Amino acid sequence: MLDEKDFWKSSYIWIRYFGYSCVHYDKDRQEVWLVNKKKQHVVIFKQGEYTTQSLEFDKDRILEHQQQINAFLSIDVKRYDIYFLTEKPFNQATLNVKEPILVKFHSIQDLKRLNKHISHPIAKGHLSKQDNHATDYFKKRVLNQSPIEKGMYTFTPATFSLIAVTVLIWVWARFFAPHHTDIEIIDLGALAHFNVVHGDWYRLISSMFLHLDIEHLLLNMMSLYIFGKLVESYTSSLKMLGIYFLSGFIGNILTLAFNTDSLSIGASGAIFGLLGALIALLMISQHYNRKTVFQLLVAAIIMAVISIFMRNVNIIAHLGGLLGGALAVYLGYYYGSFKKKFYWLIGVTVLIILILVVKIFMTPSENIYNQIIQDEMQKRHYTQAEEMIEQTISRNYADDMTYYLSGMVMAAQKSKAEAIAEWEHGLEMFPNSVQLNYVMAISNRSLGDQKTARKYIRKAAELSPQNESVKILKRELED
């Protein structure tokens, strides 16, 4: 036997899993009208007693007031499905019509019969499952018009998928992959200017899924859960994913353009993009009130404040993502409504991205591997520095500075002779290195070989005549 709870729970299932919104509730008629504007589809849930005359009246009411309904909903409705929850079955075929518009009646005596009209496996299970919720639990959610609150209980598979993939990658990186050194973090897919300009463009996306600290992961996944659900419920799963990745991409492009000497990981830029998208959606739709704005501001402020206290926060990615999310929404909005503005905005966007890409390649790229090695050397972690040098050389990222640092490590750990041999090996690969010629001049002078020292310092002076250190050493050797 179907009761009032079943009536509200059925309506709630359509709202949560199928993207419908409640647009009308008539207490006297015991009916709820739900609409899916994308599908141009209206679903009506009714409950109570009926007569053949009352059912005919319901049908005629729809057919005779079609223009008013379309105007009220701001869409051209293509189909109506009326689910009548009643103990007494009726002949549906005599009521259904195809012209001038499709109207179908469904006689529902129990939830099993209603379940036959559902293809979504999770929704089917939810409808059949016995729960302890009161009738008001479902009623309040059906009648709730707040986009923030509605978004939080709408089923959002894309958001859950992103969270699941990100958490699985964290588990893999934390327990099954090397992740203790910066070089190992780079190998996992972190964003680094040096690697991207050498062709690793995949890092613009891969870095979004990396979180090494549990605090970082929890903060971002909590934020993704909130803002991802809101944006996905407001748009669609595919659009939410598009906004997410475009925001992260723009945030990372901006990072590469203005931050060339550090690593960047995490989904913060993409998540701030969801926040920017949500703000843009609310501004365009005008479907908000003070409560909605307050809820959104509180969530944004909490997210921003917590982010400030996290280590190595990438503010540039946050700002870039925020702008990217808003941009994605306005591009979609203008494409459907103002084509000229769309082409203007997309042209400006492409131009700015091209300028940023040019800046990325024009900015001198610091070899981040050398920076990491130097950091370990400053801490006197020479064994770790030596391991990183070997990794850098094996990955073909070594340059003349790498061999210079390698020699310095050998001088500290082994002998000057081995250091000189390493620098000579480096000069075989980088004969025009000022740094290696200079250090070879100093080393040979310390050994008393002035002739060889002068050979190296003259080469260094030829390569860099304005280098003060080179000029001073050359003058000392030739006096």
268 is catalytic: yes
Q: Which of 11, 21, 233, 268 is catalytic?
A: 268
C-beta of residue 81 within 8 angstroms of C-beta of residue 58: no
Query: Annotated catalytic residue: which of 318, 406, 433, 443?
Result: 318
Contacts of 164 (CB under 8 A, 6+ apart): none
Q: Give yes or no for residue 396 having a pLDDT over 90.
A: no
Per-residue pLDDT of 175-218, as tens digits, reads 888 777 788 888 899 999 999 998 899 999 999 999 878 888 99
Mean of the per-residue pLDDT values of the chain: 89
For residues 1 and 385, the model is more confident at 385
291 vs 244, higher pLDDT = 244
pTM of the model: 0.84
Q: Which amino acid is at 366?
A: E
- Please tell me the distance from the alpha carbon of residue 190 to that of residue 203, in angstroms, as a whole number: 6
Of 293-307, 322-336, 387-401, give the lowest mean pLDDT range: 293-307
Buried b vs exposed e over 326-360: b needs ≥16 C-beta within 10 Å?
bbbbbbbbbeeeeeeebeebeeebeeeeeebeeeb
Active site (annotated) includes residue 133: no
Task: Give the residue-averaged pLDDT of 343-348.
Answer: 94
255-293: pLDDT as tens digits: 999 988 888 899 999 999 999 998 898 888 776 666 667
Residue 11, pLDDT > 90, answer: yes
